[in-house]
Amino acid sequence: MKLLQLLTASIIAFSSLTIADTPEDNVTASEAQYYSEAQKIFDSLTPQHGEIKLPNGVAILNVPESFYYLSPEDTETVLVKIWGNPPGVKTLGMLFPSGVTPFDKDSWGVTVEYQEDGYVSDDNADEIDYAELLTQMKTSVDDANMIRVREGYEEISLVGWAEKPYYDKNTHKLHWAKELKFGTQELNTLNYNIRVLGRRGVLVLNFIAGMDQLELIDSKIETVLNIAEFNEGSRYTDFNPNIDTVAAYGIGALIAGKVAAKLGILATVLLFLKKFWILAFLGVGAFFKRLFGRKDNDS
């Protein structure tokens, strides 16, 4: 991938650039090529606000001015070309806070997906022992590390809850956050999750962020919770036991990730790779932030 091939060569050079620098100022031919490739990627992104009808047809996002939405195609561009993840990641799009671009060192976003496994009963939601659940999850992560190491990934340690799980029976929305440690990385990773329960499945919102951004994300969590809603006919309260399928798991399994192991592992990989590749953009973040602000205002 042409842009990624230039990252290593460019990272040292870009670390000396200032906010006042532009792609035309004091750059080598290699750096100019890097800027050109990054500019093409940037120009392809289209931030959106307002009511967004998700491609799955069962839910919408009501995106306020404090956030913007990127389409599934734009999201793959961010995850693969900017953040360096392997291709083939399929989402329903992604949310970013306004004023933040995917090129920024401190960028964070929320991927949106849909898991159609049936109606998830919340009958036992009040009976879950989250301390015991955490112990079980730690054991599962430790067991999975043998596979991760064999496939060339660093080991993951589940440090604990960054935010204890909370389920709102009125809105049928669940959220929690885990603190993860990847190998010898100094900064732990934040794995913040939202699940919106529906008639036939669950909307999956995963934050891609650093542990040092927990306080910031906590301040935005209510806004994000209010963004995603199922359409009429697909809502949790529309469930018809005579014709609808009931999922083979409940709230506890959703949190533990036992029914979405592939999705959960993928999310943690994205978190790590975003923090690795984003270093190459330290010198261009301010430049694209100015441009993206103008593009966002024009959208």
d(CA 289, CA 278): 14
d(CA 121, CA 124): 8
d(CA 84, CA 81): 6
Mean local confidence (pLDDT), 227-249: 96
For 5, half-sphere exposure in the C-beta direction (CA atoms, 13 angstrom radius) is: 5
Mean local confidence (pLDDT), 180-196: 88
Is the pLDDT at 106 greater than 80? The verdict is yes
User: pTM of the predicted model, to two decimals?
Assistant: 0.79
Give Cα separations from 196 to 108, 164, 199, 200 (angstroms). Answer: 20, 17, 10, 11
| Residue 271 CB partners (closer than 8 Å, separation 6+) | 180, 189, 190, 191, 208, 209
Mean local confidence (pLDDT), 38-50: 88
Is the pLDDT at 15 greater than 50? The verdict is no
Mean local confidence (pLDDT), 135-157: 84
* Number of helices and strands in the chain (H, E): 8, 10
What's the token pair of residue 26? 């004091």
Q: Helix (H, G, I), strand (E, B), or coil: what is residue 179?
A: strand
Question: What confidence score (pLDDT) does residue 290 get?
Answer: 52
Is the pLDDT at 171 greater than 70? The verdict is yes
Question: What confidence score (pLDDT) does residue 195 get?
Answer: 97
pLDDT band at 172 (very low <50, low <70, confident <90, very high): very high
Question: Which residues on adjacent β-strands are paired with residue 69?
Answer: 48, 95
Least confident residue range of 4-8, 32-36, 134-138: 4-8
Is the pLDDT at 292 greater than 60? The verdict is no
Q: What is the mean pLDDT of the chain?
A: 80
Least confident residue range of 45-49, 135-139, 226-230: 135-139
Mean local confidence (pLDDT), 214-240: 96
d(CA 22, CA 289): 12
Mean local confidence (pLDDT), 265-287: 43
CB 59 within 8 A of CB 229: yes
Q: What are phi and psi of 65, to 5 degrees?
A: -65, -20
